[in-house]
Structure 1
């Protein structure tokens, strides 16, 4: 029987219920566990979708949060990678089967039986309970799924790297973005703003695409070499057949064929946004030019650590707005309107100060 302890958290009990303070059970550290005192937690669009049961049935109570940064509070007797006081992170994965070909290739995000998500997944330790995420005082995670945060990074602004950072780094890395490559980034939001920063640090020539002229200056500030108004046919036509790779971070319905036309022969467009409805793709958008339309999901633990180290080397963090835990419902409403530049991060001291 696994011993448990109660901690404060913020979550909801039903899809139409607001998030509120509640108590949840965390396991006490087992031999390979790291107990983390959570300092900051980023707010991802996935949190909102899951809390509202918009991505399939959610297990309630639901405590979201998978962009977690904190300090190691205690470690199990067999832990060798971390010690008390270390600054660490937890992303979207807290366990996987460890035995399938993908886990063995450090691709735990594609684990065949299915990875264990940081929240809303069956807890492999506490039976009949879902995993609970980072909107809480603390979390206990196997050391193999804990990440080290570079010392030079601002801890709050580093939190979104655990999802937004790796979601954009992984495809840019996989498709070998670097010097001599022209890379398009579609959508300048939570994901897109990270993609611009990371692609630029990789040495690529970055072209940002936006539906809003008001974002031109922002895109340049983030590191874009050129900015294109995607609603302007003439501006789009100027890039036809010019780009080696495109990262599409748009979650709304849009015409993906307009962007596939901008790829060079053998170019690839990777989708990291998650539109609710299927995107129609013309066969001729792919056939003419031997182009690829692909997707990508987060990254494995090894690659996530590589991303953090890369961001540490290049001093890359997210642009954030700090909020108190008690303002999460208002933040969700603003998130739906795109009213944040570019990621909310919760200061968990606000939860810990609550009775």
Structure 2
């Protein structure tokens, strides 16, 4: 059976009060609530007011406590996320702002950061697919254009080490082998791997699917979940957008490629390879994610729908080679 990992415990009233007062010494806690989602950390919204208690003076922040299993990580995701959020904020990228870092950890007794709260929800069922996809491209292109600092370059691993291990194997992994088309797709990607460009000049989100974006009134407000960014080829993030949408039954490839070319002025390098790699990462059964999709966006899909959509996308990719 897979290991069951417990998230950090619910903060006590005293613990909730402390970060509020660290932000505003006169703050009084108004309310707290748990945010859904988050595999590696517990997330709570903390609302507090200044001592005058006026409703218009309330402020909301997010308290992100990382799971205790990360304590032995060589590079803690809290350290990575704090550094990247600071970089993004200084460059005007749509993401939560870092409010407290090491001070939050001292208060909570475990690795914690406090960020700004952004009022929005993931948008998984767009009314206008083209506008939705173009906004996704525009937002992540700002990430890719963010100048890298020496600190961030030193902190972040590159995108390629996992793929190097995957494509230097003699056979695909068990997860890939369990899919009927897994071996063929793995072999096609493996054949392309030696010629793939491996730049480390760009910040890549590395998990840029719509569940990691926040929207309101049809507008993308922020990209969230910065625990595992990488240095690497931006095409990976673009391929994730297209392949994830394919699993939802949406064909946005043409719109995404066109918008990326307009915004960035760059071509998508090794695009088919990165699409294949995303599809491989979804094996053996992307249908297991359907409950999560529904919880985030009310998608009316069954596990079979997602599997069938994924298989159809793999068949199309194989037809290209």
TM over 0.5: no
TM normalised by structure 2 equals 0.31
